[in-house]
Amino acid sequence: MGDAASMKLTASKGRLKEAAVLFARLGLVSFGGPAAHIALMRDEVVRRRNWMGDQDFLDMVGATNLIPGPNSTEMAIHLGKRRAGWWGYLAGGVLFILPATLIVLALAVVYVRYGSIPQVEWLLYGIKPIMVAIVLFAVWGLARGTSKTLMPILAAITVAFLYVFGVNELLLLAAGGLVFVAIKAGWRNMGHALLLLPLAGGMPVLAAQTAGGYSLLTLTLNFLKIGAVLYGSGYVLLAYLRSDFVERLGWLTDQQLIDAIAVGQVTPGPVSTAATFIGYLTGSYPGAVLATVAIFLPAFVFVALLSHILPLVRRHEVASAALDGVNAASLGLMAGVAWQLGRAAVTDWFTVAALLAAVAVAWLTKLNTLWLILAGGVAGILFRVVSA
């Protein structure tokens, strides 16, 4: 009996170490935004490590799309918990966030000292088309692995088209869930489906404070509020931050805010690490720590709740149909994001060649995507040096 318990403990520690190493590494190489991050996670946990199947993975993607907060961070938390329990829950989230936080903090120190940020955009020249290829390959793999009928594919294509033309992603997710309930479970159950779809902005908003003296408590409460109600892209985050820290509190200028978002976008990991930058600008190291903890804390709370609810969803006809619709819409959103990333990243013959080469390698081999990203970065630097 003691040997069995010892073996179980050893296996548990092994799974925790595996999850910790994986998400720390992903935190260092996850460029390109949430869709690219999720594509990297799918490659690791479904394709390479067989922690779960595509259906389970897509269920998580659909569910996390319906809760506020940074989706890729929530996926890391959820996947960590699935692999290694509650310690994995902490390790997955914290170690995915930590590398980007430290990089952003270092850039904030340089910014405060020298009044500007290094020109780092060129570092991403060769990486961006690789990330587009990874997202496209993930969308293809998820669609092939989970869609047993034509309906989810048609829904995903429709959502991708509407998203590219500016329709709100939350509206598309809600519509996907409701349409699938209507088709699979009958129109009489539409009222039940509405209960499954949270409303953006429905979270309680913490007390606001007008412009005045600086306070670490006010900083923390405002980032807690943002983390609890944030849906959408980095541009939505920009709107929240500007409303609170530029217009209402007057702690930042517009240029400082733009620089904070830019740093969050050109570093790996979630763009919400812009909070680290703002925290340091306004409150030095204590401000950076509190702002970072506050903006990500709601994600840990939501995933803890979601992990208890998600296993029950598939047992209920209406809830399962709604989740199928949200999953199809999530695939469409990923495809739409890939199109938008591609328009920005694939701009000349070199980036076209990098994209096609990455798709071919991903299709024909099981090469770790880390090597594709590193190869893209090195190739981009060499191309810039030669063509300069």
What is residue 219's predicted lDDT score, i.e. its pLDDT?
Answer: 92
Identity at 29, one-letter amino acid code: V
Task: Report how far residue 70's alpha carbon sits from residue 64's, in angstroms, rounded to the nearest whole number.
Answer: 9
Band (pLDDT 50/70/90 cuts) for residue 335 is confident
Lowest mean pLDDT among 68-77, 91-100, 216-225: 68-77
Helix (H, G, I), strand (E, B) or coil at 267: coil
Query: What's the Cα-to-Cα distance from 87 to each of 11, 16, 44, 70, 78, rounded to whole Å?
Result: 14, 7, 20, 20, 11
What is residue 276's predicted lDDT score, i.e. its pLDDT?
Answer: 93
Cβ density class 191-214: b for 16+ within 10 Å, e for less: ebbeebbbebeebeebeeeeeeee
pTM: 0.65
pLDDT surpassing 80 at residue 141? no
Q: 290: closest CA among 206, 220, 208, 222?
A: 220
Proportion of the chain above pLDDT 70, given as a percent: 77
pLDDT surpassing 70 at residue 367? yes
Do the beta carbons of residue 322 and residue 180 sit within 8 Å? yes
Task: Report how far residue 270's alpha carbon sits from residue 259's, in angstroms, rounded to the nearest whole number.
Answer: 16
Q: What residue spans of 185-273 are helical by DSSP H? A: 190-194, 216-229, 234-241, 254-266
Band (pLDDT 50/70/90 cuts) for residue 111 is confident
Identity at 357, one-letter amino acid code: A
Lowest mean pLDDT among 154-163, 234-243, 375-384: 234-243
What is residue 10's predicted lDDT score, i.e. its pLDDT?
Answer: 59
Query: What's the Cα-to-Cα distance from 160 to each of 77, 169, 339, rounded to whole Å?
Result: 26, 10, 9
- Range from 59-63, 79-83, 245-249, 304-308 that averages highest in pLDDT: 79-83
What is residue 293's predicted lDDT score, i.e. its pLDDT?
Answer: 94
Q: 327: closest CA among 109, 134, 116, 172?
A: 172
What is residue 77's predicted lDDT score, i.e. its pLDDT?
Answer: 92
Task: Report how far residue 80's alpha carbon sits from residue 93's, in angstroms, rounded to the nearest whole number.
Answer: 7
pLDDT surpassing 70 at residue 202? no
| Domain layout of the chain by residue ranges | 15-200+301-387
Helix (H, G, I), strand (E, B) or coil at 211: coil
Band (pLDDT 50/70/90 cuts) for residue 280 is very high
Mean pLDDT value across residues 298-323: 75
Mean pLDDT value across residues 95-100: 91
The two three-digit tokens of residue 229, written as one number: 């109600």
Task: Report how far residue 76's alpha carbon sits from residue 53's, in angstroms, rounded to the nearest whole number.
Answer: 16
Task: Report how far residue 247's alpha carbon sits from residue 161's, in angstroms, rounded to the nearest whole number.
Answer: 35
The two three-digit tokens of residue 269, written as one number: 């990991």
Band (pLDDT 50/70/90 cuts) for residue 203 is very low
Residues comprising the chain, all counted: 388
pLDDT surpassing 90 at residue 94? yes
Do the beta carbons of residue 153 and residue 147 sit within 8 Å? yes
Q: Per-residue DSSP letters for 153-165?
A: HHHHHHHHHHHHT
pLDDT surpassing 90 at residue 287? yes
Q: Give pLDDT tens digits for 39-66.
A: 889 988 888 888 888 888 888 887 787 7
What is residue 178's predicted lDDT score, i.e. its pLDDT?
Answer: 80
Q: How many CA atoms lie within 13 A of 22 on its CB side?
A: 28
What is residue 212's predicted lDDT score, i.e. its pLDDT?
Answer: 56
Q: Give pLDDT tens digits for 250-275.
A: 888 877 877 777 677 667 878 788 89
What is residue 193's predicted lDDT score, i.e. its pLDDT?
Answer: 44
Q: How far apart are the first and last CA of the chain?
A: 68
Task: Report how far residue 76's alpha carbon sits from residue 46's, in angstroms, rounded to the nearest whole number.
Answer: 13
Count of Cβ atoms closer than 10 Å to residue 260 Cβ: 30
